[in-house]
A and B are shown apart, each in its own frame.
Chain A
Amino acid sequence: MNKTGTHAFVNQLLVYTLVTICLSGSVGLASVWMQQQIATASNNIKQLETRAADLERRRGEINAEIASEQSPAKLEQRNKAWSLGLVQPTEQQIERVYESPELRLARKQADGRFGGESLSFFPVRYASGGAR
């Protein structure tokens, strides 16, 4: 192949042009493929966002329903409708523990370590119906 002269220059130009076209085409295809991937990923994200928003909406609705079902008026209504007979405790039914529960638990724990000696010295003091 002649490396000098007009024909050689033209040949080289054609080769380079072809290479450039191939390269440009490859870059173009890669770019399109990348754009397609971006679009696919974006759409997936969008769908997930839509799904998350939908779940959030449903969570809000369920929370509102739970709150409504837990309202004192509803609970009392259910108590009557289902004849559960739940009532507030009367004063006479209340047994008050005047001792600190934390201290009591601490002593109980200590009791395990000291062979059951300490607990019997600290019985719980109950006051029926308060101290009246």
Chain B
Amino acid sequence: MSKGFASNYRIVLLAACVLAMFGGVATRLVYLHVIDRAKLVRHIEQARRQIVVENAIRGDIIDRRGNVLATSRTMIELAVDPQVLRPQDEAKWPELARLIGMSLDDLTKIFNTKVSLANPDDPESRDRVIQWAKLREEIPESLYDQINALGIKGVYGTRAYSRTYPQNRLAAHIVGYVNKEGTPATGIEHYADFYLRGQNGWRESEKDGRQREMAQFRSRDVPATNGYTVMLSIDSVVQSWVEDELDSIVQQFKPDNAVIIVSDAATGFLMAMGNYPTFNLNEFNKAPMQAQKNFAVSSQIDPGSTFKIVAASGALNEGLVTPQTRFDCMQAVVEHMGKPRKLMPDDHVYDHPLTVSEIISHSSNRGAAMLAMKLGDQRFYEYARAFGFAEKTGFPLMGEITGVLNEPKKWSGSDITRIPAGYSISATPLQIHYAMGVIASGGLLFRPQLINEVRTPSGEVVHRFGSNIVRRVITEKTAEQMALMLRGVMTEGTGMAVEMPGYQVAGKTGTAQKLIDGRYSERNHVGSFTAFFPASAPRVVITVIVDNGHPPKGVAYGGVVAAPSFKNLAGKLIPYLDIKPVDSSLVRPLLAAKGARP
């Protein structure tokens, strides 16, 4: 009988030892996994578990041709840990100082300050070892590569996404900016933040003793969804010309404020909106608040003669007059609602009663007042409201005001003589612009639109915005008649100097005295010019407003300070937008055929 290779006693002893060892291991496992589990798991989670947030990249803002107006890029904050600097790297310090644009003395001082001394006045404060000292903010990747190549131990950077505006001041009031806290403060950045901001992702994993992620222990990985691209209706080229023109206005007339607005006559989409003063979006923190104000929507001015289109349109639309109806504009006092009303003086003395067309082309204050009186206070007020005055245009960006137009029951006796001429009423430049847009569009008031499309980062269109009609203000026929009369302003009236033969410009000059200390000033004026062309099939509406310009000599009439800029701008837009001259042999050149609608 074989006894095997061991005695019973030894085998039993060996088996007992093995079992005891297994038992010990099992006991320890029970202790670790059951009894002490909660404590150990908590400790491990604290020590090893990490949640890394993956920041979404904010979407771009582009113009209608795809030019980038706002984008996100990484910037590096460069810092130093003075405790780990090596003496052998000291020779590289001058090169580092040169790269980051800091004097070597300042750099050396930061590098050699290893302890922050305690405040002698505070008994509780103690000396503190410095392990982080900032060297420079917003270092681009390319520069950081050069700094890294120096190999200075202890100099390191922290990356963060930063908003940058490649076109600097271009369309500053429209694009807006994201402030240093990462909050979209103004403009499209604020308005379209929902589309632009994206959704941060996160990653749950574990880290090792050197704080490095152990990728194999990733338990959840939610990728970031980058923000959408917002395409504006603004055209960078047109906007650039507008801002150049504003520079020219500032150089020539030194105004307090100036604004130029260009929009598509057929849709109401804004193509450009420039303000003076303006600011550089990349240096928004240095810009005064006055420069950041969007004058086009946040300031109100007396519209002056540009407002005369309201009384004329209203009277024509109601069938009370025709373009040939004559009014005696030589009389200084007329009776209205049983009371004599003193009319505002006109700049010219007329030797014959003026037709409605002549009232518009010669910009007669008295004629406009008589047209409004013919309409009646209430109807005239309703037409003014219908043209969009005293209500927000619906401009998507914040800061828009309504302007002021009192109800007829609050009017003084002279208001019916002054309001039709654009006094005793305040309007924003954008309201004036879109009121002219009513004539250009064949009688429709558009809501100003700024966003064309919203796209995914890969370029797929998520949403496309269309034109937005607020209401019909006047009939197409009235709009045609008004366009014809506004052509007269250019051919025989106050806008003759900027007539562009062949392009059927229809527009209206405006000059309003400014209210200074409760009195209308003889020296301070708001000069304006608002026009569209070609009158028979309008393509663009352009408004130029110069607030308190100072021409070298004479008064700052709209025809002097604003109209020339219109002409310069229109001259550039004609080839750019391929606006064809009207062939007089093919169409009736002085008749607005159908507004601008397709």
Which residues from chain A sit less than 8 Å from chain B, CB to CB? 1-2, 5-8, 10-11, 13-14, 17, 35, 38-39, 41-43, 45-46, 56-58, 60-61, 63-65, 67-68, 70-73, 88-89, 91, 94, 96, 127, 130-132
Contacts and interface: CB of A to CB of B under 8 A. Distances in A.
A65 B18 CA distance: 71
Contacts of A60: 57, 71-74
B223 to A, nearest CB: 10
Given A2-B1, A64-B164, 20 more contacts: A2-B4, A7-B4, A7-B8, A10-B8, A10-B12, A17-B18, A39-B215, A57-B74, A57-B141, A57-B159, A58-B141, A61-B73, A67-B68, A71-B168, A71-B236, A71-B240, A73-B167, A127-B583, A131-B502, A132-B581
A56 B57 CA distance: 10
27 contacts: A2-B2, A6-B8, A7-B3, A10-B4, A10-B12, A35-B216, A43-B216, A57-B73, A57-B159, A61-B140, A61-B142, A63-B68, A64-B71, A64-B73, A65-B166, A67-B166, A67-B167, A70-B166, A71-B166, A71-B240, A72-B167, A72-B170, A73-B240, A88-B575, A88-B576, A131-B502, A131-B581
B214 interface: yes
Going nearest first, the 10 A-B pairs with the smallest beta carbon separation are A130-B581, A42-B215, A72-B240, A67-B166, A67-B68, A68-B166, A131-B583, A42-B216, A132-B502, A46-B215
A128 to B, nearest CB: 11
Contacts of A43: 215-216
B367 to A, nearest CB: 32
Contacts of A7: 2-4, 8
Interface in B256-277: none
Interface residues of B, number: 49
B118 interface: no
A12 to B, nearest CB: 10
Contact of A61 (B6, B67, B74): B74
Nearest to A59: B73
A89 to B, nearest CB: 6
B118 to A, nearest CB: 41
A1 B3 CA distance: 9
A47 to B, nearest CB: 9
B574 interface: yes
A68 to B, nearest CB: 4
A43 B11 CA distance: 48
B582 interface: yes
Given A94-B575, A131-B583, A132-B581, A38 B71 contact: no
A63 B57 CA distance: 14
Contacts of A91: 571, 574-575
Contacts of A38: 216
Nearest to A47: B215
A38 B572 CA distance: 64
A63 B71 contact: yes
B77 interface: no
A7 B576 CA distance: 105
Given A46-B213, A91-B575, A132-B501, A61 B141 contact: yes
A70 B67 contact: yes
B15 interface: yes
A33 to B, nearest CB: 13
B589 to A, nearest CB: 10
Contacts of B582: 131
Nearest to B3: A7
B218 interface: yes
Contacts of B142: 61
B216 A39 contact: yes
Contacts of A89: 575
B580 interface: yes
Contacts of B74: 57, 60-61
B555 to A, nearest CB: 32
A72 to B, nearest CB: 4
Contact of A45 (B140, B215, B572): B215
B584 interface: yes
A95 to B, nearest CB: 11
Contacts of B2: 1-2, 7
B140 A131 contact: no
Contacts of A130: 502, 580-581
Contact of A67 (B11, B67, B237, B572): B67
B215 A64 contact: no
Contacts of A2: 1-2, 4
Given A39-B215, A71-B236, A64 B575 contact: no
A88 B244 CA distance: 15
Contacts of A57: 73-74, 141, 159
B216 A13 contact: no
Contacts of B141: 57-58, 61
A10 B585 contact: no
